[in-house]
């Protein structure tokens, strides 16, 4: 599976290449007016797709710190400086912060690409990459 080739495509057109065909509902109970969202999780939750109500792949989460491997040269051991050296200056960035409810979040970089955005989330203090997210921008 090459994740970027899945963005914006109908799930049924790529599911055979994934080897995992189960779609799960994200929310069991919806608030009034809320649309149902769906997800597809890969083996050992190394990756996840979120699908639109019409089953188009909208977002792909690659969990580098959970064993996904590499994506576009990015690996779980890379610092912010490593990412910038590889991909250049980001379109936008965010600093690490702590939520009183959810705990610590690492900083991030976002790169606008043709048809999608590449979002890189670090673990605390930029000591590695936690997750790479591809977000459909069409």
Q: In whole angstroms, what is the distance from residue 9 CA to residue 138 CA?
A: 11
| Tokens of residue 134, six digits | 């591809």
Query: What's the token pair of residue 81?
Result: 């400086």
**Full set of structural domains in the chain with CATH:** 3-26+36-136 (3.40.33.10)
pLDDT band at residue 66 using 50, 70 and 90 as cut-offs: confident
* Reported confidence tier of residue 26, pLDDT bands at 50, 70, 90: low
Q: Is the pLDDT of residue 111 over 60?
A: yes
pLDDT digits (tens, 9 = 90+) for 36-56: 678 888 777 888 888 888 889
DSSP label at 31?
A: P
What pTM, to 2 d.p., does this model score? 0.85
Percent of the chain scoring above 70 in pLDDT: 87
Residue of 61, 37, 36, 63 whose CA lies nearest to 49: 61
The CA–CA distances, whole Å, from 54 to 7, 9, 19, 63, 133 equal 14, 11, 21, 25, 21
């Amino acid at each position: 599976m090459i994740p970027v080739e899945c963005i914006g495509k109908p799930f049924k057109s790529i599911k055979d290449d994934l080897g995992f065909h189960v779609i799960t509902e994200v929310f069991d109970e919806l608030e009034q007016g809320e649309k149902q969202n769906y997800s597809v999780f890969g083996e050992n939750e190394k990756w996840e797709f979120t699908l639109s109500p019409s089953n188009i792949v909208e977002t792909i989460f690659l969990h580098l710190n959970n064993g996904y491997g590499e994506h576009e040269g990015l690996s779980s051991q890379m610092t912010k400086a490593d990412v910038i050296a590889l991909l250049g200056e980001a379109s936008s960035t965010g600093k690490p912060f702590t939520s009183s409810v959810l705990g610590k979040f690492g900083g991030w970089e976002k790169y606008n690409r043709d048809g999608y955005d590449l979002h890189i989330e670090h673990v605390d203090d930029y000591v590695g990459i936690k997750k790479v997210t591809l977000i459909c921008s069409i």
